[in-house]
Every structure is written in structure tokens, then in C-alpha cells.
């Protein structure tokens, strides 16, 4: 199932290349058409990042705040963080 971000990822190069090519074909020079196409691609990326951001405030299924859907929480069940729960190993003799 394709979602909003799949469409955005497809529209970024389509906007950059397509709008630049279209404006170049209708008579605008390439040095003017390329910034317009890049501007449209930039607006798409800005909308996807800031207007419709990828993370929600609260995950309704687990009640965790700030975690991405499908991603485990940062802490493990024993109370430590994932980085601090790794066993310490000695490097051998020097």
C-alpha cells in the first residue's frame, strides 16, 4: 500500500526533472528553469517534513510518546537504555 511519503519520494525527482524540462521546452533558459524545478522539489520536501511530519506525538497502540510506528522503544525492559545494556567485553592483554 502506497502512502503519502511514497508519493513524495516519487514526486521529488519528477518535479525536478519534469518541471525543468517543461519550462526549458516552452522557451525558458536552462539556468532559469532548473532553479524553478528545484524550488518545487524543495517545497514538496518541506511540506513532507514540517507540515505533515513523519512522527506523531502519541502512538495510540502502545501509549508511548514520540516513538515511530513499528519501531521499538529506546529502553529495554530492565530499565536501562539499549546502549548501556550491552555487555562489556575486555579486549584481551595489551
Q: State residue 52's pLDDT score.
A: 82
Closest CA to 40 of 64, 21, 54: 21
Q: What is the pLDDT of residues 25-78, one digit of tens each?
A: 999 999 999 999 999 999 999 999 988 887 766 455 554 555 455 555 555 556
Say whether pLDDT at 80 is over 80: no
pTM of the model: 0.56
Angstrom CA distances, 23 to 1, 38, 45, 52, 79, stand at 33, 12, 21, 28, 58
Contact 31, 44 (CB under 8 A): no
Q: State residue 2's pLDDT score.
A: 81
Amino acid at each position: 500500500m502506497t502512502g503519502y511519503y511514497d508519493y513524495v519520494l516519487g514526486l521529488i525527482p519528477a518535479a525536478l526533472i519534469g518541471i525543468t524540462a517543461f519550462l526549458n521546452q516552452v522557451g525558458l533558459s536552462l539556468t532559469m528553469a532548473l532553479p524553478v524545478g528545484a524550488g518545487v522539489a524543495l517545497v514538496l520536501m518541506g511540506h513532507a517534513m514540517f507540515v505533515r511530519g513523519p512522527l506523531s506525538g502519541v502512538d495510540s497502540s502502545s501509549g508511548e510518546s514520540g516513538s515511530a510506528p513499528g519501531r521499538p522503544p529506546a529502553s529495554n525492559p530492565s530499565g536501562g537504555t539499549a546502549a548501556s545494556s550491552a555487555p562489556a567485553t575486555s579486549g584481551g592483554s595489551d
